[in-house]
Amino acid sequence: MDVRSRNYLLMNRQALEKDIKTSYIMDRMISDEVLTLQEEERVKQQNTQKERAAMLINIILTKDNNSYRSFYNALLHEGYRDLAALLQDGIPAISSGNRKSSMDGMTSYVKTILCEGGVPQRPVVFVTRPKLVDAIKQKLFCLGNDPGWVTVYGMAGCGKTVLTAEALRDHQLLEDYFPGGVHWISVGKQDKAGLLIKLQNLCSRLEHDSALSQRPPLNIEEAKDRLRLLMLRRYPRSLLILDDIWDSWVLKAFDNQCQVLITSRDRSVTDAVAGNKYEVHVESGLAHEKGLEILSLFVNMKISELPEQANCLVRECK
């Protein structure tokens, strides 16, 4: 969904949640083929009218422009003219051409999703490593709709974090496989107290727009339960990225039947958790040529114009 449309939904969600009754609206959206029966069921399972409306909006937020248009039309035709008017300026234009606005997949949709998910930006000086980036994407495709783990592993400083963030800069991947968004957590080496703080921060991030603000979870078990429900109910089909995992016990807190991408120096970190597992080995640091490319970008010279000493410098940095 376009960022503008998404923002209109977010800006007006309180008014929408307060007033709409979901059943007729969902009937229309189902006949427009933008809502599935399973999604309708998830909405119906909520206890109050407000919770049903909130769930429907959360589901629409993970969807495309057609869903926004269908929702708008349903409001208009089911007696919610005033609410439809609030969303009118957010109706996305029908695009005629290629929806990608840039060559490398960095559409405004990608920028928004990655920014919201806390994915690190590219380093200022950046060289491409397309084979490794593609290998990570392929493993994410392999996850399909099933829960599972992708581990990107390799020695310290070989570029795991940068490669993983790069693999996520892909409109198609995000829209088709992770329409619920991505959530990046820099984990690092942690003890139990440190992990609890990471989990508390993650829960509060995922709950940020909830009407009811909850107290932070008090221990790792409670945080794990909270996270499981959040991922299941509010962020289905999203991806957790756990960057820089040192110990396998840490992963147990995230072992919640969701889809997780890990970076680690240790290939065996996922041994203790269940589910489908895929791995990508980042064999070494940047190749000599890539090192020269970085140096040339830093000093603003063509590689062919670098002096002989440049080779020694790059070798020394390895």
Contact 151, 269 (CB under 8 A): yes
Contact with ligand ATP (CB under 6 A) among 90, 92, 148, 159: 159
- Dihedral sign (CA 36, 41, 46, 52): positive
- Assess contact for 125 and 294: CB atoms under 8 A: yes
Binding range to Mg ion, per CB under 5 A, among 17-25, 40-48, 153-161, 225-233 = 153-161
Which position among 3, 91, 287, 294 is part of the footprint of ligand ATP (CB under 6 A)? 294
How many residues bind to Mg ion according to rule CB under 5 A? 3
- Does position 266 interact with Mg ion (CB under 5 A)? The reply is no
Strand ranges for the chain from DSSP E: 148-153, 182-188, 239-245, 259-264, 276-281
CA dihedral for 61, 66, 72, 73, sign (positive or negative): negative
For residue 82 the two structure tokens come to 């005033």
Q: How far apart are the first and last CA of the chain?
A: 43
Question: Do 161 and 244 form a contact (C-beta atoms < 8 A)?
Answer: yes
Q: What are phi and psi of 255, to 5 degrees?
A: -85, 80
Structure tokens belonging to residue 308: 């002989």
Smallest gap from residue 137 Cβ to ligand ATP (A): 15
Contact partner at residue 141 from ligand ATP, Mg ion, none, CB < 5 to 8 Å by partner kind: none
| Stretch touching ligand ATP by CB under 6 A, among 40-48, 96-104, 154-162, 219-227 | 154-162
Instruction: Write each residue from 160 to 189 as x if it is in contact with ligand ATP (CB under 6 A), else as -, in one continuous string.
Output: xxx---------------------------
> Which residue in 232, 231, 239, 247 sits closest to 148, CA to CA?
239
3 binds, among Mg ion, ligand ATP, none (CB under 5 to 8 A by kind): none
d(CA 130, CA 291): 15
Does 129 help bind ligand ATP (rule: CB under 6 A)? yes
**How wide is the angle at C-alpha 119 spanned by C-alphas 208 and 180, nearest 5°?**
55
Residue 169: contacted member of Mg ion, ligand ATP, none (CB under 5 to 8 Å, by partner type):
none
244 binds Mg ion (CB under 5 A): yes
Q: Name the minimum Å distance from CB 156 to ligand ATP.
A: 4
CA–chain centroid gap for 38, Å, is 22
Q: Does 90 interact with ligand ATP (rule: CB under 6 A)?
A: no
Q: Is 157 in the site for ligand ATP (CB under 6 A)?
A: yes
Q: Is residue 220 near ligand ATP by the rule CB under 6 A?
A: no
Tokens 């962020």 belong to 235
Does residue 161 bind Mg ion (CB under 5 A)? yes
- Please choose, out of 155-163, 174-182, 198-206, 299-307, the segment that lies near ligand ATP by the rule CB under 6 A: 155-163
The partner in contact with residue 129, picked from Mg ion, ligand ATP, none with C-beta cut-offs of 5 to 8 angstroms by kind, is ligand ATP
6 lines the binding site for ligand ATP (CB under 6 A): no
* DSSP H/E element including 198: helix 192-206
Q: Does residue 76 interact with ligand ATP by CB under 6 A?
A: no
Kindly state the tokens that stand for 64: 């495309």
Q: Are 72 and 91 in contact (CB under 8 A)?
A: yes
Instruction: Note the residues at the interface with ligand ATP (CB under 6 A).
Output: 123, 125-127, 129, 156-162, 244, 263, 265, 294
Instruction: Note the residues at the interface with Mg ion (CB under 5 A).
Output: 160-161, 244
